[in-house]
Amino acid sequence: MSTKKKLEFGGVPGNLLLVLVLPVVVAFLHFSVKYNDARLFAYDGADWEGFFRALVPTWEAAAIYLGWFALQALLQAFAPGPIVQGTPLPNGKHLLYKMNGRASLVATAIVVGALHFSGVLPIRVLHDRFGELLTVMVIFSYAFSVFLYFYGKATDDRSTGIAIHDFWMGTGHNPRIPPHGLFDLKFFCEARPGLPFWVLLDLACMHAQYETYGFVSLSMVLVCAFQLLYVVDYFWNEPAILTTMDIKHENFGFMLCFGDLVWVPMTYSLQAFYLVDRVHDLPLWAGLLFVALNLLGLYIFRAVNLQKHRFRQSPETATIWGKKAEYLETKQGGKLLVSGFWGWSRHFNYVGDILMAVSWSLPTLFGSIVPYFYPIYFTALLVHRERRDHRICAEKYGEDWEAYCKRVPYRILPGVY
Ligand code: NDP
C-alpha cells in the first residue's frame, strides 16, 4: 500500500491514542456510574479509592473470563449449525462459516443457569466484580491483538508496514484457526464472547437490584428486555453479519477485537448499571411508548439489513415488498440495490439502530447524561462509519458509485441527511 494514502482514524497519532485511551474511557464511565453518583465533570465525594481498588485484577476474575471465552470458543467449534457460504472474496473464492449461534446461545443459557442456581457461580458476581473483570478483559484484548498482529501477518497478510496502524486496524482480513479451517476469529469475536456477556451483565444488575430492594423496577425490566431482544435477534439472523462492513471490508485488529470483546459488553450495559441503585416510578404509558420505539427501531434495523443480505445472497431472484429487487450493475461486477429501504437512503439501517439506542436509554429518565452515552457515541460512530463506508465503496465501484449516489442521494435519513 502506498504510504501516501491517508491513514484512517487520525493516522499514527490517532491510532495510538485510541489504543491507549479507549480502555480508560470504559473504566471512566463505570467510575462515573458506580463511584461518582453518575456525574462526569464534578468529583467532590467521588470514591476514587474504591474505584481503583475494584480495578485490581484477580485470578478469580481471570478464571471467570477465560472460562467464558473458552466455553464460547468450544461452542463455536462444536455446536451444531448449518455451514453457510460467505460473499465472494476479491479472488472470487468463498469462505465457509458455521452458523451455530442459536444452539450456542441455548447451551450458554443452560450452563449459566446451572452455575447460578447451583450456587457455584451466582450471576451477581458479574456485577460485583465488574472492575476486576474489566481489567482482565482489557489485558486479554491487548494480548489477543498482539497475537492477531503476528498471526495475521503470517497467514493472511494485508498489513501496511506501519506498525501502530496495523495493530489498530489489523493485519489479517479473515484470520482462521487453522489458517484455512472453519474457525474464523473475526466472525467469532463479532458476537460470541461479547453479546451474551453483555446480556449476563444486564441480568447481574437486575439481580443486584432485586437483592437490594426486593423487586425489579419497570425501567430495569425494559432495558434488559430490549437488549436481550437485540442479542437474540442477532443470533436468530446470524448469517446477515456476512454482508456487513466488518466482515466484508475490515481487517481484524485491536479496533474490532477491543470493540467486540470489551467495549460492547462493558459500555452497553451502562444503563442497567445506572439503574441498579436508582429505582424510580416509570408510568406505564411511558413504558409502552419506549416499547413501541424499541420495536420500531428493531424492525427498521432488521428489515433493512435483511433486504440487503437476501439481495446479496441471490440478486437475481430476491424480491422486496412483493417486487423483484431493482439494482444497478457495476463495471466491477457487483450489484447495488436501489429498491426497498435501499432506495430511501444509503444507510437507512442506521436509523433503526439510533431509534433502538434511544429507547435503551429513555427508561433511565433524565437524572444523568451518563446512561445516554450509548445513543450519543453511537450516532457519532454511525455518521463516521457511513463516511468510511462511502470512501470504501467509492474506491471499489468508482463512477458507478457516483451514479448510485445520484440515484439514492441521502446518506442516512431520507430528506434530511
Ligand atoms: P451495511 O450493512 O450497510 O454494510 C455496508 C456494506 O454493504 C457496504 O460496504 C457495501 O459492501 C454494501 N452495500 C452498500 N450499499 C449497498 C447497496 N445499495 N446494495 C447492496 N450492497 C450495498 O453497514 P454496516 O456494516 O456498517 O452495518 C450493519 C449493521 O450493523 C447496521 O445496522 C449497523 O448499525 C450495525 N452495527 C452495530 C454496531 C453496534 O455496536 N451496535 C456496530 C457496527 C454496526 P459490498 O458492496 O462490498 O457488499
- Tens place of pLDDT for every residue, the chain, 417 residues? 444 568 899 999 999 999 999 999 999 999 999 999 999 999 999 999 999 999 999 999 999 999 999 999 999 999 999 999 998 887 778 999 999 999 999 999 999 999 999 999 999 999 999 999 999 999 999 999 999 999 999 998 999 999 999 999 999 999 999 998 999 999 999 999 999 999 999 999 999 999 999 999 999 999 999 999 999 999 999 999 999 999 999 999 999 999 999 999 999 999 999 999 999 889 999 999 999 999 999 999 999 999 999 999 899 999 999 999 999 999 988 899 999 999 999 999 999 999 999 999 999 999 999 999 999 999 999 999 999 999 999 999 999 999 999 999 999 999 999
Mutate to test the pocket of ligand 1, among 94, 187, 231, 244 (most ligand atoms within 8 A of CB): 244
- Looking at residue 312, its amino acid is R
Question: Of ligand 1's atoms, which has the minimum distance to the CA of residue 87?
Answer: 48
Assess whether the C-beta atom of 248 lies below 6 angstroms from ligand 1: yes
Torsions phi, psi for 323 (to 5 deg): -120, 160
Query: How remote is the CA of residue 380 from the centroid of ligand 1, in Å?
Result: 16
- Amino acid at position 359, single letter: S
Q: How far is CA 330 from CA 361, 380, 388, 397, in A?
A: 41, 30, 20, 7
Asked if 308 and 239 touch (Cβ cutoff 8 Å), the reply is: no
C-beta 336 within 6 A of ligand 1: yes
- pLDDT reported for residue 92: 79
Q: What is the 3-state secondary structure (H, E, C) of the chain?
A: CCCCCCCCCCHHHHHHHHHHHHHHHHHHHHHHHHHCCCCCCCCCCCCHHHHHHHHCCCHHHHHHHHHHHHHHHHHHHHCCCCEEECCCCCCCCCCEEECCHHHHHHHHHHHHHHHHHCCCCCCHHHHHCHHHHHHHHHHHHHHHHHHHHHHHHHHCECCCCCHHHHHHHCCECCCEECCCCCEEHHHHHHHCCHHHHHHHHHHHHHHHHHHHHCCCCHHHHHHHHHHHHHHHHHHHCHHHHHHCHHHHHCCCCHHHHHHHHHHHHHHHCHHHHHHHCCCCCCCHHHHHHHHHHHHHHHHHHHHHHHHHHHHHHCCCCCEECCEECCEEECCCCCEEECCHHHHCCCCCHHHHHHHHHHHHHHHHCCCCCHHHHHHHHHHHHHHHHHHHHHHHHHHHHCHHHHHHHHHCCCCCCCCCC
Distance of alpha carbon 173 from alpha carbon 159, whole angstroms: 9
What is the Cβ-side half-sphere exposure of residue 153, based on CA atoms within 13 angstroms?
A: 12
* 359 conformational bin, left if phi > 0, alpha if psi -120 to 50, beta if neither: alpha
- Residue 90 pLDDT: 76
* Cα(269)–Cα(201) distance, integer angstroms: 7
Q: Residue 4 has what pLDDT?
A: 55
Q: Is 307 in the pocket of ligand 1 (CB under 6 A)?
A: no
Cell numbers standing for residue 219: 425501567
- CA-to-CA separations, 68 to 101, 157, 255, 327, in angstroms, rounded: 15, 29, 21, 43
Predicted TM-score (pTM) of the model is 0.93
Nearest to 258 by CA among 17, 13, 23: 23
Q: Per the structure block, which three cell numbers stand in for 163?
A: 506498525
Choose which residue among 94, 330, 373, 393 to substitute to test ligand 1 binding: the one with the highest number of ligand atoms within 8 A of its C-beta: 393
In degrees, to the nearest 5, what angle opens at C-alpha 13 toward C-alphas 12 and 16? 85
Q: Which atom of ligand 1 is nearest to the CA of 248?
A: 47
Q: Is 337 in the pocket of ligand 1 (CB under 6 A)?
A: yes
156 close to ligand 1 (CB < 6 Angstrom): no
From the CA of 246, how far away is ligand 1's center (Å)? 8
Which ligand 1 atom lies nearest to the CA of residue 336? 19
207 lines ligand 1 (CB under 6 A): no
Task: Report yes or no: 334 and 248 within 8 Å, Cβ to Cβ.
Answer: no
Q: How far is the CA of 206 from the centre of ligand 1 (A)?
A: 33
Rounded-to-10 torsion of CA 66, 71, 76, 79? 170
Kindly give the distance from the C-alpha atom of residue 244 to the centroid of ligand 1, in angstroms, as a whole number: 4
- Whether 342 is in the pocket of ligand 1, judged by its Cβ within 6 Å, is yes
What are phi and psi for residue 48, nearest 5 degrees?
-60, -40
Question: For residue 275, which of 221, 196, 356, 226 has the smallest C-alpha distance?
Answer: 221
Contact (Cβ atoms closer than 8 angstroms) between residue 183 and residue 177: yes
CA geometry: angle at 123 spanning 49 and 266, to 5°?
55
